[in-house]
């Protein structure tokens, strides 16, 4: 089965069609800068543009950098505050004309990594942490997702963790790898104290340079590994949500009473 995955971030919005049986992209991903201001109308226009760029008319999954319940946005730390309370699933269904599933961006990346990547086969407690404009998190126990954790907003030294340890924080302050890794290390120590994970998967755009900073994380007992799918994990996880291949908590399709031609007979489309 194929589905379009759209990964919405505070800096960029990227998309690609995905073979959800293998987790592979079926075309080069396309990326458009997140509009400023990042209002629902402006972001929806980018979602429409990306959908049309692939000529896509099938099922679609989209992520959002915040808490999402039943397709509705509840928090928006790194996008315009007018998103809060918006039925994003309905909005994106309207602009694309496609059945659509919504979920938190880090949850999507985590589901992809647990299925196809660094977390495959792990049955203990696993935390996926994505470093980008902010810090996203996904928590798994016995392979099952606890959705919408948002551990990037843990308070460290009186500040949101993501203001100190995100990739954006690194760039804004001009920190080198060692200086930034010290802040990441401190953040992961707090995370470990709260959750005692067996495995920590680090992802986001900065994961493609993991060899420059992951070896510097020396104060955490848990195993730390880079994401296998790198920055494509969110796209893959969004597509998986659309295809109904993973049971990922409070995710609903925008039109749960319909079945597109893309669905196989008897396929479970959880909503």
Domain locations in the chain?
Answer: 2-107+232-243, 119-229
Indicate whether 253 pLDDT > 70.
Answer: no
> Which one is predicted more confidently, 244 or 236?
236
CATH-assigned architecture of domain 2-107+232-243 = 2-Layer Sandwich (3.30)
Indicate whether 249 pLDDT > 60.
Answer: no
pLDDT per residue as tens digits for the range 37-92: 999 999 999 999 999 999 999 999 999 999 999 999 999 999 999 999 999 999 99
pLDDT per residue as tens digits for the range 99-114: 999 999 999 999 999 9
Domains 2-107+232-243 and 119-229 share a fold: yes
Indicate whether 262 pLDDT > 70.
Answer: no
**Distant-in-sequence, close-in-space partners of 148: CB < 8 Å, separation ≥ 6:** 67, 68, 69, 74, 104, 107, 249, 250
Q: What number of other Cβ atoms are within 10 A of residue 208's Cβ?
A: 13
pLDDT for residue 173: 95
> What CA–CA distance (Å, rounded) separates 84 from 40?
10
DSSP 265: T
Indicate whether 259 pLDDT > 70.
Answer: no
CATH-assigned architecture of domain 119-229 = 2-Layer Sandwich (3.30)
pLDDT band at 265 (very low <50, low <70, confident <90, very high): very low
With contact defined as beta carbons under 8 Å apart, do 109 and 238 qualify? no
pLDDT for residue 246: 47
Q: What number of other Cβ atoms are within 10 A of residue 42's Cβ?
A: 14
Indicate whether 268 pLDDT > 70.
Answer: no
With contact defined as beta carbons under 8 Å apart, do 2 and 26 qualify? yes
pTM of the complete model: 0.88
pLDDT for residue 245: 60
Please state, in angstroms and as integers, the Cα–Cα distance from residue 271 to each residue in 106, 191, 224, following that order.
19, 30, 33
């Amino acid at each position: 089965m194929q589905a379009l995955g759209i990964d919405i971030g505070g800096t960029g919005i990227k998309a690609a069609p995905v073979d959800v049986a293998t987790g592979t992209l079926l075309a080069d991903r396309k990326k458009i800068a997140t509009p400023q201001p990042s209002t629902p109308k402006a972001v929806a226009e980018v979602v429409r543009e990306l959908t049309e760029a692939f000529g896509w008319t099938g099922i679609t999954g989209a992520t959002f950098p915040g808490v999402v319940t039943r397709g509705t946005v509840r928090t928006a730390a790194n996008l315009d505050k007018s998103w809060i309370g918006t039925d994003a699933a309905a909005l994106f269904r309207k602009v694309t004309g496609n059945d659509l599933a919504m979920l938190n961006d880090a949850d999507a990346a985590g589901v992809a990594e647990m299925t196809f990547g660094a977390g495959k086969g792990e049955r203990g407690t696993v935390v996926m942490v994505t470093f980008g404009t902010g810090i996203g998190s996904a928590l798994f126990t016995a392979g099952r997702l606890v959705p919408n954790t948002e551990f990037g907003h843990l308070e460290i030294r009186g500040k949101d963790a993501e203001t100190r340890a995100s990739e954006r924080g690194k760039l804004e302050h001009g920190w080198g790898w060692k200086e930034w890794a010290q802040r990441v290390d401190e953040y992961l120590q707090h995370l470990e104290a709260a959750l005692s994970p067996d495995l920590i998967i680090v992802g986001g755009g900065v994961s493609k340079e993991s060899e420059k900073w992951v070896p510097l994380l020396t104060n955490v007992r848990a195993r730390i590994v880079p994401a296998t799918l790198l920055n494509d994990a969110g796209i893959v996880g969004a597509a998986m949500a659309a295809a109904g291949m993973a049971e990922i908590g409070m995710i609903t399709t925008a039109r749960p009473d319909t079945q597109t031609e893309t669905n196989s007979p008897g396929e479970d489309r959880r909503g």
